[in-house]
């Protein structure tokens, strides 16, 4: 039996909690609190510590998903959550270019924690203002060997596709390193 820990990170309100809720087979353990401060009032609740979900791929493989908080004041959780991860997803709100710089920064921070595979998921592709993945790749300066995948976090199939792509990258890496 193999267990794989993946982290879902990204800027405030990118859709991280939604992403994990769409796919987890257990009720997601979420630590959301109501938002009281004004600039973040674009939604009701925000993650303050983590989200936790689980997916059984088959009898030999279970994925554990950890979602990070997006708001700056909870960033102390990031390094704790990254402990032991085998890969991560950087989730981006494709319709809010003002968050792209922060997304790039988060990507760098997580790359610094561990040299694991990662993918970029261009979320909210159902929004009329969403940037296309090719444009996002340029804006965020993502190199060609990193996957930038379209995503709609409310759609389970879309979330599954992103996680499978990350899983393939992780398994490739394990093969390359000769890990059983």
Ligand X SMILES: Nc1nc2c(ncn2[C@@H]2O[C@H](COP(=O)(O)OP(=O)(O)OP(=O)(O)O)[C@@H](O)[C@H]2O)c(=O)[nH]1
Q: Which residues neighbour 58 within 8 Å (Cβ) at sequence distance 6 or greater? A: none
The CA–CA distances, whole Å, from 138 to 18, 81, 106, 117, 134 equal 26, 29, 17, 20, 7
Nearer to Mg ion, 77 or 171 (CB): 77
The stretch among 11-19, 102-110, 111-119, 136-144 that binds ligand X (CB under 6 A) is: 11-19
Binding status of residue 127 toward ligand X by CB under 6 A: yes
Q: Which residues neighbour 2 within 8 Å (Cβ) at sequence distance 6 or greater? A: 60, 61, 62
Among 9, 47, 116, 123, the residue binding Mg ion under the rule CB under 5 A is 47
Distance separating alpha carbons of residues 133 and 3, to the nearest angstrom:
30
Nearer to ligand X, 17 or 116 (CB): 17
Task: State which of positions 52-81 bind Mg ion (CB under 5 A).
Answer: none
> Going residue by residue from 68 to 107, which x/- string records binding to ligand X, judged by CB under 6 A?
-xxx------------------------------------
Cβ–Cβ < 8 Å for 61, 86: no
Nearer to ligand X, 73 or 141 (CB): 73
Size of the residue set binding ligand X (CB under 6 A) = 21
Binding status of residue 24 toward ligand X by CB under 6 A: no
Task: State which of positions 32-61 bind ligand X (CB under 6 A).
Answer: 43, 46-47
User: Which one of Mg ion, ligand X, none is in contact with 99 (Cβ closer than 5 to 8 A by kind)?
Assistant: none
In the complex, the residues that contact ligand X under the rule CB under 6 A are: 10, 12-18, 43, 46-47, 69-71, 123-124, 126-127, 152-154
């Amino acid at each position: 039996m193999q267990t794989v820990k993946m982290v879902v990170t990204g800027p405030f309100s990118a859709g991280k909690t939604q992403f994990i809720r769409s796919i987890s087979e257990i009720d997601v353990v979420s630590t959301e609190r109501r938002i009281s401060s004004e600039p973040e009032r674009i939604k009701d609740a925000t993650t303050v510590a983590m989200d936790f979900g689980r997916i059984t791929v088959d009898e030999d493989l279970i994925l554990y998903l950890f979602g990070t908080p997006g708001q700056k004041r909870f960033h102390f959780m990031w390094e704790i959550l990254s402990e032991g991860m085998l890969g991560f997803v950087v989730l981006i709100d494709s319709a809010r270019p003002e968050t792209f710089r922060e997304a790039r920064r988060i990507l760098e921070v997580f790359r610094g924690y561990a040299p694991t595979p990662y993918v970029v998921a261009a979320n909210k592709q159902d929004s009329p203002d969403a940037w296309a993945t090719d444009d996002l790749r340029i804006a965020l300066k993502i190199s060609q060997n990193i996957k930038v995948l379209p995503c709609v976090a409310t759609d389970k199939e879309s979330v599954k596709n992103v996680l499978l792509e990350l899983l393939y990258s992780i398994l490739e890496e394990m093969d390359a390193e000769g890990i059983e």
